[in-house]
């Protein structure tokens, strides 16, 4: 930390302040506490010196009235002088609670993530069953939505495994951590790509994106890569380091830019449908789609507002032992958003978003009429404008 704790009368987060004053010249360590109740602190008086590296140990037993979330910060007093910045390194060898290495707010996360992984996997299987049941109304974007749900489930599984090893061993297993980061990267990219494609109407009502829609993807995809890189660095960096706060600000800014960018295709589609409903002869159909797009816009705004603002405010105000509820609320809100999006854009013949124009010039009909039994069995094929065979009828 850049602030010397000796200059503070109390800690900045209103928690009790515990000072370890280390004198490397006399190899002594002195512990002092402020406003600690029912807390017993044991500190080794002698400072160890091995190859110009100093070490000491302490043990703190916290009672019921002193429970809380504590931060361990280190300050090099020689850097108090103006213009002097001496380098140093600080390593915590063992930091453990009685039930594991995680803090009280993080201990339930492993079970939470594996439970939510099962819920997302179940939802993904139900979605695949729906696609198979209505295969004639299925578009490519529907399978992309299924891939997003499965990727989300797999990411939560690896996240749960990663927290399990941190809690039991004190550090993540590199292989499981890498798998989690990869699936987290894929999940983040798929999420914003899918939401933007649904907003543009790709594969539903058109197969070609406009130039301005392509620019949105050229902006969102690199920003998502940057956001995930920032997330990985935050996960593997100590909270007290300067890099941690820098990348945390970068992640927050980039995430907000991505959230704002995916709203543009929805707004463009709403504007296009408003113009189309007043100019062509399909006003009723366009008004239904316009209503659906407005609902989709509200859904995205509510999802972004809740997961990026409301949930964070709840995390700040919650007691430390209930801060895991922040992750629970984020996962539940994501599940609700996925379910509502799937319901709104489900593959069904009565879905107004999937009803394509059925004018005479848009429909191609091939008829084969037989007058004798010699050509019996030849079928009449009815094709819609999206190129799918919808109906086959045997001719007499």
Q: What is the pLDDT of residues 61-110, one digit of tens each?
A: 766 666 666 666 666 666 666 666 666 666 665 666 677 788 878 889 99
Asked if residues 251 and 225 have their Cβ atoms less than 8 Å apart, the reply is no
Report pLDDT for 385: 42
Kindly give, in sequence order, each residue whose CB lies less than 8 Å from that of residue 382, ignoring residues fewer than 6 positions away.
Answer: 365, 389, 390, 391, 392, 393
Q: How many angstroms separate the CA atoms of 188 and 251, rounded?
A: 13
Cα dihedral sign, 176-177-178-182: positive
SS3 76: coil
* Residue of 300, 301, 299, 309 lying closest to 330 (CA atoms): 309
* Residue of 261, 262, 293, 265 lying closest to 277 (CA atoms): 293
How many other CB atoms sit within 10 Å of the CB of residue 112?
19
Report pLDDT for 211: 79
Q: How many angstroms separate the CA atoms of 187 and 152, rounded?
A: 6
Q: How many angstroms separate the CA atoms of 126 and 354, rounded?
A: 20
Q: How many angstroms separate the CA atoms of 341 and 313, rounded?
A: 26
Report pLDDT for 217: 79
Asked if residues 393 and 378 have their Cβ atoms less than 8 Å apart, the reply is no
Q: How many angstroms separate the CA atoms of 315 and 329, rounded?
A: 10
pTM score? 0.72
* Residue of 76, 79, 63, 59 lying closest to 18 (CA atoms): 59
Q: How many angstroms separate the CA atoms of 307 and 328, rounded?
A: 11
Kindly give, in sequence order, each residue whose CB lies less than 8 Å from that of residue 357, ignoring residues fewer than 6 positions away.
Answer: 282, 285, 385
Instruction: Report how far apart, in Å, the C-alpha atoms of 300 and of each of 94, 236, 267 are.
Output: 43, 30, 12
How many other CB atoms sit within 10 Å of the CB of residue 395?
13
Regions in the chain scoring below 70 on pLDDT? 1-20, 23-47, 62-97, 202-208, 240-242, 276-287, 348-396
Question: What does DSSP say about strands 53-55 and 379-383: parallel, antiparallel, or unpaired?
Answer: unpaired
Report pLDDT for 364: 37
Report pLDDT for 152: 96
- For residue 377, is it left (φ>0), alpha (ψ between -120 and 50) or beta? left
SS3 202: strand
How many other CB atoms sit within 10 Å of the CB of residue 293?
25
> Phi/psi at 394 (nearest 5 deg)?
-75, 135
* Residue of 118, 249, 266, 260 lying closest to 200 (CA atoms): 266
Report pLDDT for 383: 41
Going from the N-terminus, what domains does the chain have, and what CATH number goes with each? 1-93 (no CATH), 108-351 (1.20.1070.10)
Rounded to 5°, the CA angle 253-237-219 comes to 30
Element holding 33 (H helix, E strand): strand 28-34
Residues 182-229: tens digit of each pLDDT: 999 999 889 988 888 887 776 555 566 777 777 887 888 888 888 888
Question: For the chain, how long is the longest CA-to-CA vector?
Answer: 112
Report pLDDT for 208: 66
Instruction: Report how far apart, in Å, the C-alpha atoms of 239 and of each of 161, 234, 248 are.
Output: 22, 8, 10
Question: What does DSSP say about strands 58-62 and 379-383: parallel, antiparallel, or unpaired?
Answer: unpaired
Asked if residues 17 and 5 have their Cβ atoms less than 8 Å apart, the reply is yes
Strand runs labelled E in 166-302 = none
């Amino acid at each position: 930390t850049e602030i010397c704790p000796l200059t503070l009368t109390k800690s900045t987060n209103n928690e009790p302040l515990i000072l370890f004053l280390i004198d490397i010249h006399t190899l002594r360590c002195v512990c002092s506490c402020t406003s600690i109740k029912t807390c017993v602190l044991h500190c080794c008086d002698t400072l160890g010196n091995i190859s110009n590296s100093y070490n000491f140990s302490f043990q703190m037993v916290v009672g019921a009235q002193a429970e809380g979330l504590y931060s361990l910060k280190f300050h090099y007093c020689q850097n108090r002088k103006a213009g002097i910045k001496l380098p140093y390194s600080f390593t915590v060898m063992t930091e453990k609670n009685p039930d594991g290495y995680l803090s009280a707010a993080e201990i339930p996360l492993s079970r939470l993530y594996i439970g939510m992984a099962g819920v997302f996997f179940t939802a993904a299987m139900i979605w695949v069953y729906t696609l198979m049941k209505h295969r004639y109304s299925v578009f490519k974007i529907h399978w992309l939505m299924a891939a997003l749900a499965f990727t989300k489930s797999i990411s939560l599984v690896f996240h749960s495994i990663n927290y399990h090893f941190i809690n039991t061993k004190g550090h993540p297993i590199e292989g499981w951590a890498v798998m989690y980061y990869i699936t987290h990267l894929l999940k983040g990219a798929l999420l914003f790509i899918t939401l933007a494609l649904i907003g543009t109407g790709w594969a539903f009502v058109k197969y070609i994106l406009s130039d301005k829609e392509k620019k949105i993807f050229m902006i969102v995809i690199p920003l998502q890569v940057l956001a995930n890189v920032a997330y990985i660095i935050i996960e593997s960096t100590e909270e007290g380091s300067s890099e941690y706060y820098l990348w945390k600000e970068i992640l927050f800014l980039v995430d907000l830019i991505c959230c704002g960018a995916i709203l543009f295709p929805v707004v463009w589609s709403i504007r296009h449908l408003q113009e189309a409903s007043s100019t062509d002869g399909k006003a009723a159909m366009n008004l239904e789609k316009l209503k659906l797009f407005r609902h989709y816009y509200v859904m995205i705004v509510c999802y972004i507002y809740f997961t990026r603002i409301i949930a964070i405010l709840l995390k700040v105000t919650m007691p430390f032992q209930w801060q895991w509820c922040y992750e629970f609320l984020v996962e539940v809100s994501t599940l609700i958003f996925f379910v509502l999006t799937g319901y709104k854009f489900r593959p069904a013949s009565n879905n107004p978003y999937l009803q394509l124009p059925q004018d005479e010039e848009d429909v191609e009909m091939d008829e084969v009429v037989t007058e004798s039994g010699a050509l019996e069995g030849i079928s009449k094929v009815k094709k819609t404008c999206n190129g799918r065979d919808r109906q086959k009828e045997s001719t007499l």
